[in-house]
Amino acid sequence: MKKKSRLSNFVDSNFLDMFTVSKWMCSWSLVSAFASILALVSVVHLFLFPLTPSFNYFSQAQNSCVPNNVSAEASTNRVRGSLQPGIDLDHQFSDDLHKTVVYRGAPWKADIGGWLAGCNSVTEEVNIIEIIHGKGCKNDCSGQGVCNQEFGQCRCFLGFTGDECSERLQLNCNYPGSPEEPFGQWVVSICSSYCDTRTAMCFCGEGTQYPNRPVAEECGFQLNPPSEPDGPKMADWTKADLDIFTKNGSKPGWCNVDPDDAYALKVQFKEECYCRYDGLWGRFCEVPVLSTCINQCSGHGHCRGGSCQCANGWYGADCSIPSIVSSMREWPSWLRPARVHIPANGHLFGKVVKLNAIVTKKRPLIYVYDLPPGFNSLLLEGRHHKRECVNRIYDDKNATIWTDQLYGGQIALYESILASPYRTLNGEEADYFFVPILDSCIITRAGEAPFLSMQDHQGLRSSLTLEFYKLAYDHIVKQYPYWNRSSGRDHIWFFSWDEGACYAPKEIWNSVMLVHWGNTNSKHKNSTTAYWADNWDEIPSDIRGNHPCFDPDKDLVLPAWKMPDADALSSKFWAWTREKRKTLFYFNGNLGSAYPNGRPEPLYSMGIRQKLAEEFGSCPNKEGKLGKQHAEDVIVTPLRTENYHMDLASSVFCGVLPGDGWSGRMEDSILQGCIPVIIQDGIFLPYENILRGFNKTEIEFKLANIKKIWQRFVYRDSIMLEAERQRVAYGHIDDWAAEFLKLIEDDVFTTLVQVLNYKLHNDPWRRQIHLKKEFGLPEECLKIHS
């Protein structure tokens, strides 16, 4: 019998136990916005030298506005007939190893603008039956978990397992030791002090003045001098640093250092020790603060280290689902106002296990799976670096501190869906099913704890993450009836990491993949990341299958998270005029091994950043050389800048180049009103004369288009959810909230909902599924269901 992986064992024990319109009208503003999106994607097909974009793109988008009484299929055929024929890449780029699909030949639906301007804009509310459950759990989960009252199953907190969460898990900090490695093989959670085996986190422990002070990584081990001048000290992972326990103020202590004495410089302390765990603040972790939980438990629970401990009558990952014993006055807004049907035997309250509530909603409706917490909240609880995989933390006043984690969009979108009026508790009424897996936390935390070990995955974070998605699929198929109805086509999965859904298990590939990098290259047979732990080449094809990284016919690309910046918003960089933009082209980022501290791997950025720097580098490399074609108004530099946003806003064109996969440069460009120059693999080097070839009218037109759509790159909904939480808790809002309140255009989440509504009525596979649903749309918009 095949040996089960450590993760599978952990899952088994801890997870599974548990428009009415009579004639056609077209909104030119919306069409213009959509056209501008197309323009941004195709601004300069640099590398396709010397191609300059024409205005035919915009006329195509405008022509896609068709009368609503034309069927979706006819509309699609009509628009597709106007497209130019695809490019024979094998003939034109015989040396292109990745067989790139360029924009004009790539599949896309120009009719989406017409549909959103017509059908989507007149969607009306319909009556939906929401189901309020009330099944109890054994022993109320022993106070160490949350009862999912739809199934009567416990969702245990970190370190507990069993049907009633009464069994304690042993989560060791270190792997077994040896004479050569007494503290075990190095992992992020290596501990030389006291290990809390519930969380696999390291603390000073009993006998010290501050037993709950973290002792993480270098803090607990002796440090060797740097190997080169000004280099970092190197930890000796075989020798514990006993001086951190000293009470002698002349030695660099930690566990017995009084914060007041340290701040007054009366004692020494080990500089390598710091407050890295969530829920603690201050140089010496002396201030307990809020931890980051999903939607901060929606006001119906307490955040305990990352997991929500829900109040009586509430459940779900964010305590947002009411049970039959909750007060209707406290129900979330997406369930109110409601008309509740009380069963005839309702006076026998003990027999009632569910109630039906009629609520008016607009489609599309999204059902969010309440997965076992190992797929989401447990990955937040016990984090070893408080900023990893979240979009916010909290300071000593419990004020919101936004992070610059590019992967924070994953939790932002998850929270928006959970609090959205498009959410439904009735899977029978749902149009889509969202599967909440925080893969950004899996990857950033890989190796921190035994159940996140990569030892069974050849050290590959990609393989570990794939297993999580496969386990979630297994759970859904076993627990719910919805997957088989569409073969998973109406399910939504978020792959936030660098190369997107390349390593999605084959079982879920029919679904909608949300990614940050829509790579349509046929390179999917080979990983291109320069970081070995994310490489997925070694994942067997019988596990991963042979699918691409992205399918534009079904998948969606979402913007990465960008830290809310009140100053940048108030400065209105996105609206800066052409006259203020003195730089022709701008790129700031790692340029590879030719520059100090550059990434050494030749595969980094697929060699694109390196080649760009070789041609246009505006800073000397290690040899003191500038780029061959350097110019005063072309900036390609690896040097960090203190005025990054202003530098972008002062530029006409900004580079969007890959890193290990996608990077956040597209969002940076759009949010500062700079025209993005998208340079990807499989095409030739761009030359300066392409950009200089744009006349003033073209540049003004493109800058104006950016102004129309930049808010669609902002996670405003999630940001305002946090603003409201702070207002309720403290009675005021911060500067960032005041600035974001001024934004009124569609954001990332609203755009996603609009596209899902379009897909709901235009995805061909839905013709095969005959569901009697009320869609709140005129008959002309429902041709696909006939």
What would the pLDDT profile of 181-235 be if each residue is shown by its tens digit?
A: 999 877 777 899 999 999 999 999 999 999 999 998 889 999 998 887 777 889 9
Residue 88: per-residue pLDDT:
37
- For the chain, the first-to-last Cα distance in angstroms comes to 50
Residue among 359, 363, 368 at smallest CA distance from 321? 368
DSSP class of residue 86 equals P
Q: Which residues contact 775 (CB under 8 A, 6 or more apart)?
A: 123, 126, 363, 761, 781, 782
- For residue 734, the Cα-to-chain-centroid distance in whole angstroms is 24
What would the pLDDT profile of 651-696 be if each residue is shown by its tens digit?
A: 999 999 888 877 888 899 999 999 998 886 533 333 445 577 778 8
Say which residue the tokens 């501008």 belong to: 36
Q: What's the CA angle centered on 586, arms 581 and 587, to 5 degrees?
A: 155
Question: What are the b/e assignments for 155-164, b being 16+ CB within 10 Å?
Answer: bbbbbbbbbb
Point out the least confidently predicted range of 111-115, 469-473, 637-641. Answer: 111-115
Q: Is the dihedral of CA 69, 72, 77, 83 positive or negative?
A: positive
pLDDT of 642 strictly over 90: no
- For residue 639, the Cα-to-chain-centroid distance in whole angstroms is 27
Residue 517: per-residue pLDDT:
83
Mean predicted confidence (pLDDT) in 703-726: 93
Of 353 and 22, more confident: 353
CA distance 458 to 466: 13
The answer to whether residues 124 and 776 touch, using CB atoms and an 8 Å cutoff, is yes
The tokens describing 473, both together, are 């699929």
383 φ, ψ (degrees, to nearest 5): -65, 140
DSSP H helices in 503-602: 541-544, 566-571
Residue 18: per-residue pLDDT:
31
Residue 484: per-residue pLDDT:
93
Residue 79: per-residue pLDDT:
29
Of 683 and 165, more confident: 165
Residue 95: per-residue pLDDT:
36
What would the pLDDT profile of 533-546 be if each residue is shown by its tens digit?
A: 888 888 888 999 88
Question: What are the b/e assignments for 316-349, b being 16+ CB within 10 Å?
Answer: bbbbbbbbbebeeeebbebbeebeeeeeeeeeee
Q: Strand, coil or helix: what is 430?
A: coil
CA distance 144 to 165: 6
Mean predicted confidence (pLDDT) in 505-526: 83
Of 442 and 34, more confident: 442
Residue among 450, 582, 462 at smallest CA distance from 527? 462
What would the pLDDT profile of 722-755 be if each residue is shown by its tens digit?
A: 999 999 999 989 999 999 999 999 999 999 999 9
Residue 524: per-residue pLDDT:
52
Residue 784: per-residue pLDDT:
54
CA distances from 749 to 123, 376, 393, 708 (A): 17, 20, 22, 17
Residue 452: per-residue pLDDT:
78
CA distance 73 to 52: 32
CA distances from 86 to 90, 104, 468, 554 (A): 12, 7, 38, 20
CA distance 375 to 328: 30
Point out the least confidently predicted range of 427-441, 457-471, 521-535, 612-626. Answer: 521-535
Mean predicted confidence (pLDDT) in 392-404: 96
- Computed over every residue of the chain, the mean pLDDT equals 82
What would the pLDDT profile of 548-567 be if each residue is shown by its tens digit?
A: 888 888 999 999 999 999 99
Residue 47: per-residue pLDDT:
28
Could you tell me the pLDDT band of residue 521, with boundaries at 50, 70 and 90?
A: low
What would the pLDDT profile of 12-57 be if each residue is shown by its tens digit?
A: 334 333 322 222 233 333 333 333 333 333 333 332 222 222 222 2
Point out the least confidently predicted range of 276-280, 353-357, 523-527, 672-676. Answer: 523-527
Residue 772: per-residue pLDDT:
78
Point out the least confidently predicted range of 4-18, 338-352, 752-766. Answer: 4-18
Say which residue the tokens 């024929």 belong to: 85
The tokens describing 278, both together, are 């969530």
Residue 449: per-residue pLDDT:
67
Q: What is the DSSP string of 15-57?
A: IS-----SS----HHHHHHHHHHHHHHTS--TTSTT----THH
What would the pLDDT profile of 367-389 be if each residue is shown by its tens digit?
A: 999 999 999 999 999 888 999 99
Residue 97: per-residue pLDDT:
40
What would the pLDDT profile of 75-126 be if each residue is shown by its tens digit?
A: 333 222 333 333 332 343 333 444 444 444 434 445 676 777 778 888 899 9
**In what helix (H) or strand (E) does residue 549 lie, and over which residues does it extend?**
none
pLDDT of 708 strictly over 80: yes
